[in-house]
Chain A
Amino acid sequence: MPTLQQQISEKFLSKLAGCGEVDAAKIEKLRVLLSENKRAKAEDFVKIFATPAGEDLK
């Protein structure tokens, strides 16, 4: 059974994906951050939000 924290994280990411203001790559990074680290720090979020949209050339 997912915890309330997990439920909120899932719905948060879905809502973010639906609002169209955040690109998919950032949402994926947020998913990893929230699932791996219950105590994410502000600098972790700043790093994700300040990353230019899209992905690096492969």
Chain B
Amino acid sequence: MIKLETAHIEEVRGIRKLDIDFRKEKFAISGPNGSGKSGVIDAIEFGLTGQIGRLTGRGTGGLSVAEHGPHVDKIRFPDASFVRLQVYLTELDKSVTITRKISTPKKPKIEPVDDDVMAALAEVADHPEIALSRRDILRFILVEPTKRSEEIQTILKLDEIGQTRSTLNTTQNRLQRDLNAAKAAVDSSRTALQTHLQIATLRSGDVLAAVNQRRALLGLAEIAEMTADTKLDAGLSSAAKIPEFNKRSALRDLGALSDAARGFPTLAAGEARAIAADLGRLEDDPSLLAALQRHTFIEKGLDLVDGAECPLCDTEWEDEQHLRNHLTAKLLKSEEARTLQQRLLDKGAAISREIVRVTGLLAPVHKLSEAQGSADFPRLLSRWRADIGELKDKLATVDGLMVLKDRLTTGWLGIPNAFSASLKTLTETVEAKPDQTATIDAQTFLTTAQLRLGDYREARRKSEAAEIALNTAKAAYTAYCIVMDDELNALYEDVQEDFSKYYRIINEDDESEFTARLTPSEGKLDFDVNFYERGLFPPGAFHSEGHQDGMGVCLYLALMKRLFGDRFTFALLDDVVMSVDAGHRYQFCKLLKTEFPDTQFIITTHDRLWAEQMKSARLITRRTSLAFHGWAIDTGPLVESNLDIWDDIAASLAKGKVEVAAAALRHHLEYVSRHLADELGATVQFRADGNYELGDLLPPVLARMKYLLGKAADAAQSWGNNELRDSIAARRTALSNATGTQNVEQWVVNRAVHYNEWANFGRSDFEPVVAAFKELLRCFVCPTCESWFHITPPRGAPEALRCPCAATNLNLMAKVVTTARLLPFR
């Protein structure tokens, strides 16, 4: 995967222009709420994936990257909004540059354009879960089991697996319906054949007895055995000349239809009533109807998804995956509707089977009526067969059933008014025909029998094929479910183990025996955690909000480890640790350091103290942290320790914006005083609320620096290094002069404690103040590396005053002069 080297962000979200050197290290960004920290996270996420989770997740209706990604003043000029990231690809050992504009999020400029680079970045872009916000934590912890399952499956890219399972299930349902239809066709053709042969069963002996009787009459050889190739009319000299009409067979067909017709008015009446009742429920419950309509609609839509554009409303999504997740979530919400849909379709299928049977009875009579030259009956039958054929199609969909509601309650079969009379007339016509000679009767009997046997065999063949297909689908579905369950159980066991371990690391003082249990079941993922060994409970039951936050991060880390393994090298944690209480913060840092030594976390927090604790715990350093002290719409985040602070202040003054310059100076002095108090070990009066003002910090810092320089001068002298002593003395003098200059401005400085008064000054009033503090702070900075001085060791008696580049390294330890005491020789 990746590590982030640098970021250049311009006109994105709340940021105007910002460069950050992430150094491929764990990095922290702190600052008060609204100072622009999350804007940095958004920009990095956008640079890497082309998406901004904050604008595309739930509850973000009406928001989009295109419209709300640019700085508010650049909405009409999205081309000006872009992010340029220098990214290190760990597996390729390559550094690449990604430049992505808000106006063309899917077309980043990548250099170099190597195939392996493009593939690696495509993989990153496919993993928006590298960014975790506190809002995301709730997705894992405080949600119902079905939603948690969905969320975790999404983050682990398991939704594809669930979808394959679901598709295999749909497949077997579809093949089951095909088999039912094929079996109905077999029944229908069997009935037609048995009716013709006048036999009660379709046993080989019964068939041959009926057939051989006619064959004997015609002098044809007896058929001894029924095989798959047996032709019942084999041996007839010229089948073409034999009339198709067989009076007795025709009368049997007419009789069979006439008998069945008596039951037509009540045919499948129970199923029809049940469908009508369910349709009535839908009419009475508009929300259920809406859910069902959405279900069918969305189901269709999901099936048609092919790209990031919604096939239902043409909305352009971030990518196809987001669109699919959105539609799948909507489908799950209409579970009751789904059950109702299944019941409706099952009943519809039962009526369809009856239609197949009726059609089987109508077909020979239809043919007969045409052969007999009836005028209207063939047309009537033709229309009726077409009508119930269409009915069969409608019974296969909920939309179709809804159209049929009235028909289902008033005689769904739609028996034509003239049917009975026409059937009777045709029967009388056939009965009135002279009896056929025994020879003709036998010949037509055999040819009709062969035709119907052929139909029956074909129906059987199709039914058997449908059965094989269904059995294959069932075997596949079962195998997939078993394998999927086994793999998911193993996965959740891994995740559960890692999660428990991580949580124990954070809470080793009070929950060292902590365990958790993830229990997957059909579409659900139950999550229970041990509460002080009193049993397993849902996370929200007894644990505090801070503990729940900790759990969310731990579960996220466990999931990411399972997803990426050793390739988990990068994550954005946006204010996710805010509720971790002070007692557990060092442990949290320990978790990130020890369990994820090669992962670059970019962490934001609005708690300044938290950021300092990360430094103390050596999770980050001064170079791998950044603090914002505020935000302004014109400037974006105001960066503490900003090397360009004086230029910024001068620019503000040049524009006559004294209040902006004053605020920048105020925050910079606050930051520097706090930082130097810590780095130099100044003695500051303790405040329990940690709310130190400039007046609390700056005087002790000045006093401490003078003391340290004095100590350094004394040490140099003790070692006989007069040159160094003089140089230090010069520094001390410069500091005194600067302090003196500052004192000249004391009337302003005093008011500096009540900062807002600065805003009332004019430019000429304020410029000397700025110059005085600039000169003063220069005494604390190494001229070579421009970093602040610090003492070593950080705690205890100081031994040296240094800067990071070691250009300044003043020894504070004076030479110890000892007087040797000679002991008497023994």
Contacts and interface: CB of A to CB of B under 8 A. Distances in A.
Interface in A1-32: 1, 3-5, 7-8, 11-12, 15-16, 19, 21-22, 26, 30
Contacts of A12: 476, 479-480, 483-484
A58 interface: no
Interface centre among A40, A41, A42 (most CB of B within 10 A): A42
A49 B479 contact: no
A19 B487 contact: no
Interface of B: 156-158, 160-161, 163-164, 167-168, 170-171, 174-175, 178, 303, 305, 324, 465-466, 468-473, 475-476, 479-480, 482-484, 486-487, 491, 565, 567
Interface centre among B466, B469, B491 (most CB of A within 10 A): B469
Nearest to A51: B469
B308 to A, nearest CB: 14
B160 A49 contact: no
A1 B567 CA distance: 10
15 contacts: A4-B157, A8-B483, A11-B486, A12-B479, A16-B476, A21-B472, A22-B475, A22-B476, A34-B164, A40-B167, A42-B174, A46-B171, A46-B469, A49-B476, A50-B175
Contact of B487 (A7, A46, A52): A7
Contacts of A11: 483, 486-487
A42 B170 contact: yes
A28 to B, nearest CB: 14
B482 A15 contact: yes
A3 B157 contact: yes
Interface residues of A, number: 27
A5 B158 CA distance: 7
Contact of A49 (B171, B303, B567): B171
B157 A49 contact: no
A34 to B, nearest CB: 7
Contacts of A38: 160
A10 B471 CA distance: 21
Contacts of B468: 53
A5 B157 contact: yes
A30 B167 CA distance: 13
Contacts of A4: 156-158, 161, 487, 491
A19 B475 contact: yes
Contacts of A49: 171, 175, 469-470, 472-473, 476
Nearest to B476: A16
Q: Which 5 A-B pairs have the closest CB atoms?
A: A45-B171, A21-B475, A50-B469, A42-B170, A15-B479
A8 B163 CA distance: 13
For the residues of B in contact with A, the DSSP-based class is helix
A8 B683 CA distance: 63
B173 to A, nearest CB: 9
A12 B303 CA distance: 24
Given A15-B482, A22-B476, 5 more contacts: A12-B480, A42-B167, A45-B168, A49-B472, A50-B469
A8 B472 contact: no
A54 B160 CA distance: 30
Contact of B171 (A19, A42, A53): A42
A47 B475 CA distance: 16
A38 B487 CA distance: 18
A30 B491 CA distance: 25
B484 A8 contact: yes
Contacts of A50: 175, 178, 465-466, 469
B303 A41 contact: yes
A39 B163 contact: yes
Given A22-B475, A39-B160, A52 B465 contact: yes
A15 B472 contact: no
Contacts of B160: 5, 38-39
B100 to A, nearest CB: 25
Contacts of A39: 160, 163, 305, 324
Contacts of B163: 39
A21 to B, nearest CB: 4
Nearest to B303: A41
Contacts of A21: 471-472, 475
A1 B480 CA distance: 21
Contact of A19 (B303, B479, B484): B479
Contacts of A40: 164, 167
A44 to B, nearest CB: 8
B475 A16 contact: yes
Nearest to A38: B160
A40 B468 CA distance: 21
Contact of B472 (A1, A7, A26, A34): A26
B167 A41 contact: yes
